Amino acid sequence: MRHHDLLILGAGSGNAVLDDRFADLDVAVVSAGPFGGTCLNAGCIPSKMLVATADVADTVRDAGRHDVDARLREVRWPDVRERVFGRLDAAAAEGEQGRRDAPGTTVYRGTARFTGPRRITVDTADGPVELTADRMVVAAGGRPVVPPVVADSGLPYQTSDTVMRLPERPEHLVVLGGGYVAAELAHVFDSAGSRITVVEQEERLLGQQDETVSAAFTEAVRGRWDLRLGRELTAVTGRPGDLRLTLDDGTELRADTLLVAVGRRPNSDLLDLDRAGIATGEDGRITVDAQLRTTADGVWALGDIATPVPLKHVANREARIVAHNLLHPGRERAMDYAAVPSAVFTHPQVARVGLTERQAREQGLDVAVAVHRYADVAYGWALEETEGFCKVLADRRTGRLLGAHLLGPQAATLVQPLVVALATGMTARELAEGPLWIHPALTEVVENALLDLPVPED
């Protein structure tokens, strides 16, 4: 049995805990998958590299709106795939080698499970290895949810872990699910030339977004994708490459590829956490306090296996919090989830921070709402943009910002000043009238939405 000062379980955001401040410790990093975790290998980074390619293709297709005659000949999917994963696979390998080369660090590759308090078994290629540690960080991530109707069919399907590595683009891709993963990957393959059908049990796509955004996005893609909303998948039959998908209304869809994008779940059920005294909630997430400590002494947790907001930028912040708390016992910092932004890199792009209008009203808040369209600012004219808008919510009495929601070009960038405002407690008027806003930059859509709010003057 090998003992370490510190053991990190997971090589995604968990690996980010370590820096030069830990150089004097005997550290173990344990991972079943490649270094970089989901984000680098099967999530945010490859998907955004593919989205960037999709956006280029869409720009060519839409060039006529700017009186430019252009024709898209082909998206060379095998070349795109090789460019993306040739780079990212090398980065994962370099990350692992860099960690192996770090003084005082041992890397164990294999699946792990707890066998007692701060004690695990790792099933490596050379056989099981028993490890103990004074302190541990559990950052073992999550995985896609696959409904039994698909898993039990015996027929092939894709998830976000696999679909981006397909050697050829599908001819007809059926996407099961209507959330952010479904929306981004539908955009990628639609722009690459696949025919897209989306099957979603809710009546709108992106149902977790503000209702105005969800409704607008659903209408924006209705003409490009075949939407089967309010429907459930009841059977998967046929054969590989010729799938027959039966919906609850009796409709049968035929497609060569099925992408399952109905959500993700934490990997906590794979680790025998109960043997370590590590509690989990009903949703499977490891229970942590504000300092990200678990119910087991000397064990912290972060990332998708524990966080209430499974996003990479959240996990990165959690890693910094855990690193500080490991190094400074008695002077721990707390994680703050009060103003977490998110974005959906689809077409049109979506971004948000804070409460939706429905959430604000359900909390009994007196909400002031303003919506300003991209088409009503000068750079919106330049873009010939007709769909985009910025929606802001504030407390009608105090003017304090409660939430912000954008749909349209550059939404993920435009939301950032609103994130700062929510995080620092600024009012809508303070943000609108304090700093100068560049004219005619697209940020004017945010400025004008703030000015449109019926709230008191500061």
Write out pLDDT tens, residues 43-58.
Answer: 999 999 999 999 999 9
Q: Do residues 174 and 214 both lie within one domain?
A: yes
Q: Do residues 8 and 121 both lie within one domain?
A: yes
Establish if 24 belongs to a structural domain. yes
Note the pLDDT of residue 456: 86
User: Quick check: helix, strand or coil at residue 144?
Assistant: strand
Q: Do residues 138 and 281 both lie within one domain?
A: yes
Q: Do residues 242 and 293 both lie within one domain?
A: no
Establish if 239 belongs to a structural domain. yes
Q: Do residues 8 and 137 both lie within one domain?
A: yes
With residues binned 3-state (H G I as helix, E B as strand, rest as coil), the percentages for the chain, rounded to 5, are 35, 25, 40
Question: Which portions of the chain are predicted below pLDDT 50?
Answer: none
What amino acid occupies position 150?
Answer: V
Establish if 339 belongs to a structural domain. no
Q: Do residues 237 and 289 both lie within one domain?
A: no
Domain count of the fold of the chain: 3
Strands 2-9, 27-31: parallel, antiparallel or unpaired by DSSP?
Answer: parallel
Q: Decide which of 262, 281, 316 is a domain's last residue.
A: 262
Q: Do residues 395 and 303 both lie within one domain?
A: no
Q: Do residues 363 and 291 both lie within one domain?
A: no
Q: Do residues 304 and 250 both lie within one domain?
A: no
Establish if 415 belongs to a structural domain. yes
What amino acid occupies position 306?
Answer: A
Q: Write the CATH number for 437.
A: 3.30.390.30
Catalytic residues: 439
Residue given tokens 């209507």 in the structure block: 178
- Is 0.95 topped by the overall pTM? yes
Q: Do residues 139 and 8 both lie within one domain?
A: yes
Note the pLDDT of residue 458: 64
Establish if 34 belongs to a structural domain. yes
Establish if 338 belongs to a structural domain. no
CB 366 within 8 A of CB 338: no
Compute the C-alpha angle 39/162/173, nearest 5°: 120
Q: Decide which of 246, 262, 278 is a domain's last residue.
A: 262
Q: Do residues 402 and 279 both lie within one domain?
A: no
Q: Decide which of 262, 280, 309 is a domain's last residue.
A: 262
Residue 301's domain comprises 2-144+265-327
Establish if 341 belongs to a structural domain. no
Establish if 342 belongs to a structural domain. no
> Which residues, 6+ apart, have CB-to-CB distance to 349 below 8 Å?
343, 406, 407, 408, 409, 410, 411, 412
Q: Write the CATH number for 195.
A: 3.50.50.60
Write out pLDDT tens, residues 106-158.
Answer: 999 999 999 999 999 999 999 999 999 999 999 999 999 999 999 999 999 99
CA–CA distance, 327 with 337 (Å, rounded to integer): 22
* Farthest CA pair distance, the chain: 70
Q: Do residues 436 and 399 both lie within one domain?
A: yes
